[in-house]
């Protein structure tokens, strides 16, 4: 009996040591008392001192560059977009298997807007996210051409049926397959190409902005009707004086209509939207909105449902644009803030997390995040580095509405920090909180606070 007691005591001590050595407690300390928040406030103070609001004539330029790969080639030749095989990104259930073909073409698109001495580029790709390493490859080219990171408003369509192989680390491989440096270089070059082409297309232009309700196409997938959701489709309509017309659109329903069983490359419902809009306006690019907790709604399935939602959104926008009055001048302000991050809190339970040295090995990207706010006329567009909560988006939009501004919040701006959702959902045993909430219960409120402060800067005359 004494021996059995010793063995039991040994295992209790052993597993207790494992528990405390290889887990750490969840940090519930207020974010506003943290060093990272104070550093962010210092950055915001610097932005305030340098902020200028410009009111001037507008120039706009557009570019579309194909990133549809040639598959089943003898060897990779990224300069020609040729690859032996490539995985799809979006679902762990695909287990990194290669795409079987191309259902519809995919693109990187850029729209350049210049007012006074400031130029901003909206950039979006038919990808799951805009991967940080792709941005880094693109910046090698863009920096040499005088374009800075702060001028780039990145996003993606968030299709779950497009190219993978762009990520590093265990988590990235689960969703995007094994990394392929040739693919990464190619996407980086194509991104830079689109931006430089848009810059070269700048012409005098007129502008209109707005939102319309498209709530029938989205639902709150986290807590259903108990929660709120961002129902708005937001747009920027641009008309060159001598040239093309174009539209930048954004909506907040996840492009997850096509499931893991689909193995063909597709831009999903944003692709159907863009193709229908292009027939009427010449250029159309889609930016993922506040995708956190929002799924597509509707009865059909597969490509039929993707077509229904995409083309219905296009039809609604075309009706809205019919007879829209455009302005020859606009007010313009842009702020970009690189933000320090709290330590990883990869959840094991609601009370214990993985330790930092393990989290850093598992996660695809570490370092900083990025937030931006741009004011164009009476509309504010905000970019975030995550699947950003639709519920937070509604709060931001309502606050700005009181001040006389429309607003839109986009996701996937060239950094990726998982899901940013309200802290009240931290204890839910749901995918967004349990698997994809990487920075603990305060990350949402921290980000929300900074966005409010950035919005205040650009909306101050």
Q: What is the pLDDT of residue 17?
A: 53
Q: What is the pLDDT of residue 358?
A: 84
CB atoms within 10 A of CB 225: 8
CB atoms within 10 A of CB 43: 19
Give the span between the Cα atoms of 273 and 213, in whole angstroms: 16
Give the span between the Cα atoms of 131 and 112, in whole angstroms: 21
Tens digit of pLDDT at every position of the chain (461 positions): 455 555 455 445 544 555 566 788 999 999 999 999 999 999 999 999 999 999 999 999 999 999 999 999 999 999 999 999 999 999 999 999 999 999 999 999 999 999 999 999 999 999 999 999 999 999 999 999 999 999 999 999 999 999 999 988 888 899 999 999 999 999 999 999 999 999 999 999 999 999 999 999 999 999 999 999 999 999 999 999 988 999 999 999 999 999 999 999 999 999 999 999 999 999 999 999 999 999 999 889 999 999 999 999 999 999 999 989 999 999 999 999 999 999 999 888 888 998 888 888 887 666 899 999 999 999 999 999 999 999 999 999 999 999 999 999 999 999 999 999 999 999 999 999 999 999 999 999 999 999 999 999 999 97
- Nearest C-alpha neighbor of 251 from the set 265, 231, 266: 231
Give the span between the Cα atoms of 352 and 410, in whole angstroms: 31
Residues in Cβ contact with 137 at an 8 Å cutoff, skipping those fewer than 6 apart: 184, 185, 187, 188, 189, 191, 192
What are the backbone angles phi and psi of residue 451, rounded to the nearest 5°?
-60, -45
Total residue length of the chain? 461
Q: What is the pLDDT of residue 14?
A: 46
What are the backbone angles phi and psi of residue 335, rounded to the nearest 5°?
-130, 140
Q: What is the pLDDT of residue 11?
A: 45
């Amino acid at each position: 009996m004494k021996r059995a007691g010793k063995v039991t005591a040994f295992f209790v001590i052993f597993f207790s040591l494992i528990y405390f050595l290889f887990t750490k407690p969840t940090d519930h300390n207020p974010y506003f008392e943290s060093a990272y928040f104070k550093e962010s406030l210092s950055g915001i103070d610097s932005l305030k001192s340098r902020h200028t609001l410009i009111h001037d004539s507008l120039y706009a330029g557009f570019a579309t560059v194909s990133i549809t790969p040639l598959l089943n080639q003898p060897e990779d030749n990224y300069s020609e977009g040729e690859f032996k095989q490539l995985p799809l990104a979006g679902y762990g259930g695909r287990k990194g298997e290669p795409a079987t073909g191309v259902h519809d073409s995919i693109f990187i698109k850029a729209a350049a807007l210049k007012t006074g001495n400031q130029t901003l580029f909206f950039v979006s790709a038919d990808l799951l996210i805009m991967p940080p390493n792709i941005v880094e490859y693109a910046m090698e080219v863009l920096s040499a051409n005088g374009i800075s990171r702060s001028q780039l408003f990145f996003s993606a369509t968030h299709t779950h049926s497009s190219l993978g192989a762009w990520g590093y680390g265990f988590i990235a491989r689960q969703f995007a397959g094994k990394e392929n440096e040739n693919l990464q270089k190619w996407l980086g070059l194509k991104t830079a190409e689109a931006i430089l082409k848009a810059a070269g297309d700048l012409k005098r232009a007129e502008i209109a902005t707005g939102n319309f309700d498209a709530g029938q196409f989205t639902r709150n997938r986290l807590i259903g009707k108990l929660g709120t959701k961002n129902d708005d489709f937001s747009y920027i309509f641009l008309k060159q004086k001598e040239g093309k017309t174009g539209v930048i659109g954004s909506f907040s329903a996840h492009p997850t209509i096509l499931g893991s069983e689909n193995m063909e490359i597709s831009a999903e419902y944003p692709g159907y939207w863009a193709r229908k809009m292009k027939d009427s306006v010449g250029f159309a690019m889609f930016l993922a909105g506040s995708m956190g907790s929002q799924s597509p709604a509707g009865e059909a399935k597969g490509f039929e449902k993707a077509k229904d939602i995409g083309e219905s959104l296009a039809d609604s926008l075309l009706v809205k644009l019919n007879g829209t009055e455009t302005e020859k001048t606009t007010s313009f302000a842009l702020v970009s803030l690189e933000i320090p991050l709290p330590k990883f809190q990869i959840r094991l339970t609601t009370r214990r997390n993985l330790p930092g040295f393990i989290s850093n090995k598992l996660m695809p990207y570490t370092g900083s995040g990025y937030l931006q706010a741009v004011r164009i006329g009476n509309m504010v567009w905000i970019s975030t580095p995550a699947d950003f909560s639709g519920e937070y988006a509604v709060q931001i939009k309502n606050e700005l509405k009181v001040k006389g501004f429309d607003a839109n919040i986009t996701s996937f701006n060239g950094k990726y920090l998982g899901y940013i959702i309200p802290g009240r959902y931290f204890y839910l045993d749901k995918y967004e909180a349990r698997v994809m909430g990487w920075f603990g219960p305060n990350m949402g409120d921290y980000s929300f606070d900074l966005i409010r402060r950035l919005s205040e800067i650009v909306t101050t005359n």
